[in-house]
């Protein structure tokens, strides 16, 4: 006889008797169907999460790549900033040297305005080696300028030129080995270039006299001083006071006798008084 129920018997070992209960067949089918559906749902959800996981791993890899690219780019920007600041530092150094040159020219009594600038070259078109080369040139020029006696040791009118002239003490013509510059008694006299004092003593003709030896080939002489404010061996810089104007030695009035020697030979100091 066909029945719509299953009988389930539960028999426990060691005990007599058995328990039984009946279950509708339709309920068993529903249960089996439910298990299968549950299994399918589980599989499906596992599969989709796995795919999603793989996809997101790929996505995070691309994000990491992007971050490292950004980092590399920012490193490049940092390096460029370092180069730019180095360029600016060097350019600043050049400008400072030029301004110092201008200051020295002014101390020498030469009103020379330097044309700093000209055509502007942007930093990115300049190479560091080119700027080094430029700086080296300027440094050489600067050293030459500092040790060349260009300019005036004292502001005043030239009363006697270099060359042959009527000797103020003798009737015959004599050679004047320097120029005479009119001065007030005690007026400060300055070095016209950096150098070392090689003489600071009495001279039979020039009275109280100072001689300065400059780098390479130049020497300068200052005569008829009323006072000497340096001593032999002193290092002097352009613009330093070396003595005071007077009328010592063979002199007819307060003035400075100024000589410039080049390679031991006396030259006309007038050509060194200005750059023109
Ligand atoms: Zn003289």
Quote the CA–CA distance of 16 and 157 in Å, as a whole number: 149
> Residue 202 C-alpha to ligand 1 middle, in angstroms?
15
> Residue 148 C-alpha to ligand 1 middle, in angstroms?
21
> Residue 164 C-alpha to ligand 1 middle, in angstroms?
11
> Residue 218 C-alpha to ligand 1 middle, in angstroms?
19
Quote the CA–CA distance of 184 and 235 in Å, as a whole number: 26
Buried b or exposed e, range 100-118, using 16+ CB within 10 angstroms: ebeebbebbbbebeeeeee
Answer for the pair 225, 244: CB distance below 8 angstroms, yes or no: yes
Question: Taking the C-alpha atoms of 263, 265, 269 and 274 in order, what is their torsion angle to the nearest 10 degrees?
Answer: -30
Per-residue confidence in pLDDT tens, the chain, 276 aa: 567 777 777 777 766 677 777 878 888 788 778 888 888 888 877 777 777 777 777 888 888 888 888 888 888 888 888 887 887 777 777 777 777 877 776 776 655 566 555 555 665 566 677 677 667 778 877 887 888 898 999 999 999 999 988 776 767 788 999 999 999 999 999 999 999 999 999 999 999 999 999 987 899 999 999 999 999 999 999 999 999 999 999 998 999 999 999 999 999 999 888 766
Spatial neighbors of 82 by CB under 8 A, at least 6 apart, are none
Quote the CA–CA distance of 191 and 108 in Å, as a whole number: 9
End-to-end alpha-carbon separation of the chain, Å?
A: 140
What protein residues have CB closer than 5 angstroms to ion ligand 1? Answer: 180, 257
List, as own/partner pairs, every contact residues 14-22 make where C-beta atoms lie below 8 angstroms and the sequence separation is at least 24, other chains included.
none
pTM of the model: 0.62
Angle among Cα 245, 109, 217 to the nearest 5 degrees reads 80
Nearest Cα to Cα of residue 212 among 226, 199, 229, 223: 199
> Residue 96 C-alpha to ligand 1 middle, in angstroms?
39
């Amino acid at each position: 006889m066909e029945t719509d129920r299953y009988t389930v018997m539960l028999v426990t070992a060691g005990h007599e008797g058995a328990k039984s209960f009946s279950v509708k067949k339709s309920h068993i089918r529903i249960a089996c169907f439910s298990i299968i559906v549950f299994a399918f749902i589980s599989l499906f959800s596992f599969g989709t999460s796995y795919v999603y996981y793989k996809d997101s791993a790929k996505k995070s890899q691309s994000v990491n790549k992007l971050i490292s690219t950004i980092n590399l780019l920012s490193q490049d920007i940092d390096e460029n900033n370092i180069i730019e600041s180095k360029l600016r530092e060097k350019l600043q150094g050049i400008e400072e040297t030029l301004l110092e040159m201008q200051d020295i020219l002014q101390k020498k009594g030469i009103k020379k305005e330097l044309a700093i600038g000209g055509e502007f070259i942007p930093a990115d078109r300049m190479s560091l080696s080119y700027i080094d080369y430029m700086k080296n040139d300027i440094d050489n020029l600067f050293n030459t300028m500092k040790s060349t006696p260009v300019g005036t040791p004292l502001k005043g009118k030239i009363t006697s030129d270099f060359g042959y002239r009527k000797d103020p003490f003798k009737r015959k013509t004599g050679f004047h080995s320097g120029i005479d510059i009119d001065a007030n008694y005690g007026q400060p006299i300055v070095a016209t270039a950096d150098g070392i004092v090689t003489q600071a003593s009495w001279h039979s003709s020039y009275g109280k006299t100072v001689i300065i030896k400059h780098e390479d080939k130049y020497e300068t002489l200052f005569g008829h001083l009323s006072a000497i404010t340096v001593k032999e061996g002193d290092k002097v810089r352009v613009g330093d006071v070396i003595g005071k104007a007077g009328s010592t030695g063979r002199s007819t009035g307060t003035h400075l006798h100024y000589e410039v020697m080049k390679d031991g030979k006396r030259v006309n100091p007038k050509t060194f008084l200005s750059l023109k």
